[in-house]
Amino acid sequence: MSEIIMKQQNELAEIIKRYSGKDGVHPTAIPSLFFIHISNVNIPRHGVYKPSLCIVVQGAKEVWLADERYRYSPAEYLVATVHLPVTAQVTEASPDTPYLGFKLEFTPSQILEVLQESENQVKSKIDPNRAMFVSQMESTLLDAVLRLARMLDNPKDIPVLAPLITKEILYRVLEGENGSVLKQIVMEGSSIHQIREVIEQIVNHYDRTFRIEELAEIANMSVSSFHRHFKEVTAMSPIQFQKQLRLQEARRLLLNESTDATDVAFRVGYESPSQFSREYSRMFGFPPRQDIKRQKA
């Protein structure tokens, strides 16, 4: 890692410490920008990544997408191009040197706007890629990230300048080594664009029962082609994808709203409470009641 990048990371770390203070995920005054502060290596945590740029400023982290591991540290950055259910774990952190993270969420319309205003061309044909990638950090990207973070010290500038700097950040990612993957999410006719529309349907209606033919029709693909492309993009089948969404939402409901596992099972779309309990145990390691008791201990 170059001396310039190290200096930029050190300044960014100080800003994150100042605006986070304690462990957790902290929203900022800039829409879609979050700071993460973790003082100890933690257990794997399940969640859904929205389309986002994720930067480790201090420490290290692993993200599992199905059976694939993505490890990144201050020398790299991670991008999720669509909504993805993942398992994440901070692997390097201590009270003296906490894990510090920067997360900027974005939308396909923001990507499209950047492409339309630049000379950045999208290839008409490209093989499907995973909707998540890790790339080497570049000082030009980190410079824009740092300028966005500095704006928290001048909140009156945020409404005008933050959208411009965010656009610059997305432009740098699009110009980076894996930028072509991000471009594909807004290119009509690309497999990632077609699969993204299906993902949005499943994310917004995870409790529904979908016929595979219905999902293939949304993607404008044959059933066999849809299955293949969905797995190439997300590393899992549509059924596995929906199951992870359901179980993660069930766990959230059990922790925050209800302790009745049967009620929660029906709310997230399961027809069989026993099947729900089996799949919950398989994913989280314990049956619902025992898991929630552990979480709240």
> Can you give the CATH number for the domain in which 41 is found?
2.60.120.280
Looking at the structure, tell me whether residues 150 and 94 fall in a common domain.
yes
pLDDT of residue 287: 93
pLDDT score at 122: 56
Does 152 share its domain with 24? yes
**pLDDT reading at 275 higher than 90:** yes
Q: Are residues 8 and 127 in the same domain?
A: yes
Question: What pLDDT, on a 0 to 100 scale, did the predictor assign at position 120?
Answer: 61
* pLDDT for residue 80 is more than 60: yes
What are the phi and psi torsion angles at 59 (to 5°)? 100, -155
Tell me the HSE value of 276 on the side-chain side, using a 13 A CA sphere.
25
pLDDT tens column, 28-77: 999 999 999 999 998 899 999 999 999 999 999 999 999 999 999 999 99
Strand partners, 268: none
Residue 273: pLDDT band with limits 50, 70, 90:
very high
Residue 43: the pLDDT is 86
Q: In this structure, are 136 and 7 located in the same domain?
A: yes
Over range 254-276, report the average pLDDT: 92
Share of the chain above pLDDT 90, in %: 84
Same domain for 55 and 172: yes
Cβ neighbours around 42 below 10 Å, total? 14
The answer to whether residue 107 scores a pLDDT higher than 80 is: yes
pLDDT recorded at residue 211: 95
Residues 215, 203 share a domain: yes
- pLDDT score recorded for residue 123: 55
> Does one domain contain both 124 and 231?
no
Please enumerate, as own/partner, the contacts of 25-33 that have beta carbons within 8 Å and a separation of 24 or more. Answer: 25/103, 28/152, 29/152, 29/155, 29/158, 30/148, 30/151, 30/152, 30/158, 30/162, 31/162, 32/104, 32/105, 32/106, 32/166, 33/102, 33/103, 33/104, 33/105, 33/148, 33/149
Is 93 in the same domain as 14?
A: yes
Would the CA dihedral through 111, 116, 117, 122 be positive or negative? positive
Higher pLDDT, 82 or 257: 82
162 and 251, same structural domain?
no
Tally of domains in the chain: 3
Q: What is the pLDDT of residue 83?
A: 96
Band the pLDDT of 293: cuts 50, 70, 90: confident
State which of 184, 200, 217 marks the end of a domain. Answer: 184
**Token pair listed for 256:** 């925050």
| Beta carbons of 63 and 87 less than 8 angstroms apart | yes
Nearest-angstrom CA–CA distance, 249 and 252: 5
Q: Which pLDDT belongs to residue 175? A: 94
Q: What is the mean pLDDT of residues 161-189?
A: 93
User: For position 169, what pLDDT does the model report?
Assistant: 98
Q: Are residues 230 and 254 in the same domain?
A: no
- Enclosing domain of residue 195: 188-236
Beta bridge partners of residue 241, listed in sequence order? none
Q: How confident is the model at residue 202 (pLDDT cuts 50, 70, 90)?
A: very high
* Model pTM score: 0.92
Stretch 91-98: mean pLDDT, rounded?
95
pLDDT recorded at residue 128: 59
Report whether 133 contacts 78 (CB < 8 A).
yes
Q: Tokens 């049967």 — which residue?
A: 262
**C-beta of residue 57 within 8 angstroms of C-beta of residue 13:** yes
Query: Any alpha helices (H) in 135-210, and if so which ranges?
Result: 139-150, 158-175, 179-183, 191-204
Domain of 273, CATH number, reads 1.10.10.60
Residues 12, 142 share a domain:
yes
Mean pLDDT of 168-194: 91
Please provide the average confidence, as pLDDT, over all residues in the chain.
93
- Check whether residue 166 and residue 200 sit in a common domain: no
Indicate the SS3 state at residue 88.
strand
Q: Strands 76-80 and 52-58: what pairing?
A: antiparallel
The three-point CA angle 119-122-124 to 5° equals 140
Tokens of 91: 């692997």
pLDDT reading at 103 higher than 90:
yes
Q: Looking at the predicted structure, is the pLDDT value of residue 21 above 90? A: no
